[in-house]
Structure 1
Amino acid sequence: MKFATFLMLTTSALARPSKPVSSWPGWSGIEQMFVFGDSYTTTGFNASTGPQPSPGNPLGNPKYPGYTSSNGPNWVDYLTVKYNDSLVLTYSLAYGGATVDAALVAQYLPTVLSLKEQVQTEFLPLYGTQQLASWKPDATLFAIFIGINDVGNSYAGTASGNTTIYDAVLSEYTSLVNQLYDSGARNFVFLNVPPVDRSPLTASSGPAAQALEASRIALFNSRIATLAANLAHADKQNAVFLYDTHTLFEEVLDNPQQFPQTAPYRNTTDYCLDYENGTAAMDTLNASCVYPVNEYFWLNSLHPTYPMHDLLSSKVAEELRGGRCM
């Protein structure tokens, strides 16, 4: 099965009726999950050297919640142990700083594993062959949350209006999804890019930079929607979900009190320098900061704290539980 990258859609891929698909067992029927992405998703899992996920340790290594960017559990942790409807063994192959392909959009360090490497050097040889874990296509979910660094590391170079870099990136993204499909993957959930144009990192560059990054995020997200829709339409056996991370983040940044998980937030625009590298406790209050760390949306210039991840995970689970695939 191969699918085209840029099919024109006549309706929004985010406002869609659910379709019956034979491969989707329901969220309660998922037994394993392979997750790909960047620092918003990584738990520090080492596929080669650490313990593999097991019923007594569903995320494998390192010790829960792992090495996250949220000063606590991230959405993958919560989806595995809090919002799961069954025992789910989760293999998080995500890597902080990842882009889709470092040859297209450079990463901050050459040692970072891009999505391409996560798929081709981690998943396919170790799990695609079922060498380290046995998994069933109809009881396994593949989750991909990528694009923050692709846009963040490239948008300034598109100020002239030339956005062909995103054609290349999404073409490679599509190829990698095809490779997962060819290995047996049939159940997918894609998360689009959140509004990191509102992060302190981009805000520090001024309104023009924020507007440019916002426009490139919108473009990138439209391409993710197209990718997901094409995958869903290419094979009726595919169960494809697209979660609108962007809208959820916007809602929280505008009014965090509307959700129980994020109601404690008191600051959604800035962060406290003494918290930026994490704290010993999830609710640490440093005398130099106005609020405890968990009352700031931003832990540092780019990463949200764990309450946002808690909410995101609950909403992804709600989507999966409802079976609202494309």
Structure 2
Amino acid sequence: MKSLVSFFVAVACADVVSSVPMGKHHHGGFEWSKNEIVFGFGDSYTFTQGQYGLTNYSWNTFQNLDKHGQVIVKEDPIILNAVSVHNCSINDDEQITYEFKTSAGLPSKCKHSLYNIAFAGADIDPTKTTLHHNFSIDYVTQIDQWFKYVKPAVHYESSKTLAASFIGINDVSDTSKWTNVSFPDFFDGLIASVFDGLERLHGAGIESFLILNVPPVDKAPGGGGKPALTTNIATYNSILSNYTMTFAKNHTESNVFFVDTNMIFNSILANASSYGFKNTTGYCPEYDAPDFNTNYTAYGCLAPYEYFWYNTGHVTYPVHKLLADQISDMLNSGTTVNK
């Protein structure tokens, strides 16, 4: 599905191709207007399609070489609107970075350069759960890919860089039928893996972090109102919140933003009509038809933007836009959990 749509400011790193990104710690408040780069990690709610990515799953496979034999990173164009919300829109990461307003598509052409390592279908740690797809690139591996491929290629300044982490949806969903596990302990171990990754990024000089919790996918058409999934989400989100507060407390020099997507989505659902949504429980079965966006009436469906849910588990582009707007407000106001 789509990612966050507006991480803001002009890009200066395009001219420093050969620079090695050793960020300097600049203590002080976060200024979104001066932020230059966003590094994204997550699953289908976060991924953006790239020319050198796996179609429908990622921005980059890091397998393609340029004429010098170097892995292509900075020159991998983001394909406009090619995310899980189909042709009609943009996701959260694209909206926050304003990628959806550019035509060239190169990460450096976004108002805030977007290097999105997220992979649709990702879970957190393959040592703790079976991969959602046997080809999924999990969160732990995404962090490894950042260090191996992105960090050497992209110049960044600590004070002008944001790392966005949106993960856990597949983990809570895929394990909701388990009956032989203590979920508080299990999710604690999974989330520990997430923050191991964030600690590594912090050690690499990144000092601003955006952390999002799991939205109410139990209310999605594919969630089926399953009580176990509802409980899983609440447990996971509670532990994630505690880890976020501890991380912020341990890194007072950093800027840690926490986005309660669960609360935001539930608020939108509770006031759906005021946002223009006419259907909050179903979706059009022909959502993936090539002409769906312009010919939806032929399928007996509402307009795409009148649905809250895009398919069995993802939301439509207006929902991503509403989420992105709230995230943008948070970043602009500098509302961190530790300041």
Normalised TM-score (structure 1): 0.81
Assess if the C-alpha contact under 8 Å between 1:38 and 1:96 holds in 2: yes
What is the match of residue 148 of structure 2? 125
Aligned-residue offset at 1:104: 1.2
**2:317 corresponds to 1:300:** no
What is the match of residue 238 of structure 1? 254
Deviations 1:147-171 (A, max 9, x none): 1001001121047755432122012
**2:117 corresponds to 1:112:** no
What is the match of residue 47 of structure 2? 42
**2:283 corresponds to 1:271:** yes
Aligned-residue offset at 1:198: 0.3
What is the match of residue 222 of structure 1? 238
What is the match of residue 318 of structure 1? 329
Aligned-residue offset at 1:257: 3.3
Secondary structure at 2:298 match in 1: coil
**2:34 corresponds to 1:29:** yes
Secondary structure at 2:277 match in 1: coil
What is the match of residue 206 of structure 2? 185
Q: Matched residues in 1 for 2:143 and 2:289: separation?
A: 29
One-letter code aligned to 2:34: G
Indicate the larger mover: 184-193 or 103-112.
Answer: 103-112
Q: Matched residues in 1 for 2:238 and 2:295: separation?
A: 39
**2:268 corresponds to 1:247:** no
Aligned-residue offset at 1:111: 1.1
Q: CA separation of 1:22/1:158 partners in 2, compared to 1, >3 Å: closer, same or farther?
A: farther
Mapping of residues 80-159 of structure 1, within 5 Å: 80-81=97-98, 87-120=111-144, 122-128=145-151, 131-158=152-179
Q: Matched residues in 2 for 1:224 and 1:195: separation?
A: 15
Q: Matched residues in 2 for 1:218 and 1:69: separation?
A: 25
Q: CA separation of 1:154/1:193 partners in 2, compared to 1, >3 Å: closer, same or farther?
A: same
Aligned-residue offset at 1:246: 0.4
Assess if the C-alpha contact under 8 Å between 1:29 and 1:139 holds in 2: yes
What is the match of residue 75 of structure 1? 92
Q: CA separation of 1:316/1:188 partners in 2, compared to 1, >3 Å: closer, same or farther?
A: same
Q: Matched residues in 2 for 1:243 and 1:78: separation?
A: 15
Aligned-residue offset at 1:63: 2.1
Q: Matched residues in 1 for 2:231 and 2:221: separation?
A: 17
Aligned-residue offset at 1:67: 3.0
Aligned pair partner of 1:309 in 320, 324, 328: 320
Q: CA separation of 1:284/1:171 partners in 2, compared to 1, >3 Å: closer, same or farther?
A: same
Q: Matched residues in 2 for 1:116 and 1:29: separation?
A: 29
Assess if the C-alpha contact under 8 Å between 1:75 and 1:313 holds in 2: yes
Q: Matched residues in 1 for 2:183 and 2:143: separation?
A: 29
Q: Matched residues in 2 for 1:247 and 1:110: separation?
A: 32
Deviations 1:98-148 (A, max 9, x none): 11112212223121111001101x1011233xx211011110000001110
Assess if the C-alpha contact under 8 Å between 1:83 and 1:314 holds in 2: no
Secondary structure at 2:38 match in 1: strand
One-letter code aligned to 1:212: A
One-letter code aligned to 2:194: Y
Deviations 1:59-96 (A, max 9, x none): x5232123334552101111111799x93000111101
Deviations 1:19-76 (A, max 9, x none): xx9344311011000011100110121163497558xxxxx52321233345521011
Number of equivalences: 287
What is the match of residue 211 of structure 1? 227
Assess if the C-alpha contact under 8 Å between 1:200 and 1:269 holds in 2: yes
Q: CA separation of 1:89/1:160 partners in 2, compared to 1, >3 Å: closer, same or farther?
A: closer
Q: Matched residues in 2 for 1:240 and 1:37: separation?
A: 17
Q: Matched residues in 1 for 2:178 and 2:244: separation?
A: 27
C-alpha RMSD of the superposition: 2.4
Aligned-residue offset at 1:215: 1.3
- In the alignment, structure 2 segments of 5+ residues that lack a partner are 1-25, 50-58, 66-71, 102-109
Q: What fraction of aligned residue pairs are identical, expressed as a percent?
A: 26
- In the alignment, structure 1 segments of 5+ residues that lack a partner are 1-20, 55-59
Q: Whose RCO is larger (CA < 8 A, sep 6+)?
A: 1
Aligned-residue offset at 1:282: 4.0
